[in-house]
């Protein structure tokens, strides 16, 4: 089970593999009242 929230440029495969949909750098954040993990791709 995936316990993070994905940004628009991040995809999730059937085996829960995360992959980038755009070129850039990976950014991990913890934010919000429930301290959720966010994974995003920052375009260069």
Look at the alpha carbons of 34, 27, 19, 10 in this order and tell me if their dihedral is positive or negative: positive
Mean pLDDT score of the chain, rounded to an integer?
A: 84
Cβ pair 20, 40 in contact under 8 A: no
Q: Which letter does DSSP use for residue 9 in this model?
A: T
pLDDT of residue 1: 44
Q: pLDDT above 70 covers what percent of the chain?
A: 91
Q: What is the pTM of this model?
A: 0.61
pLDDT of residue 3: 64
pLDDT tops 50 at residue 9: yes
Q: How far is CA 13 from CA 1, 16, 17, 30, 36, in A?
A: 12, 5, 5, 22, 20
Q: Domains in the chain, please, with CATH?
A: 4-42 (2.40.50.100)
d(CA 8, CA 24): 13
pLDDT tops 60 at residue 16: yes
């Amino acid at each position: 089970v995936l316990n993070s929230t994905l940004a628009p440029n991040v995809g999730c495969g059937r085996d829960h593999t995360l992959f980038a949909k755009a070129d850039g750098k990976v950014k991990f954040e913890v934010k919000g009242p429930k301290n959720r993990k966010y994974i995003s791709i920052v375009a260069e």
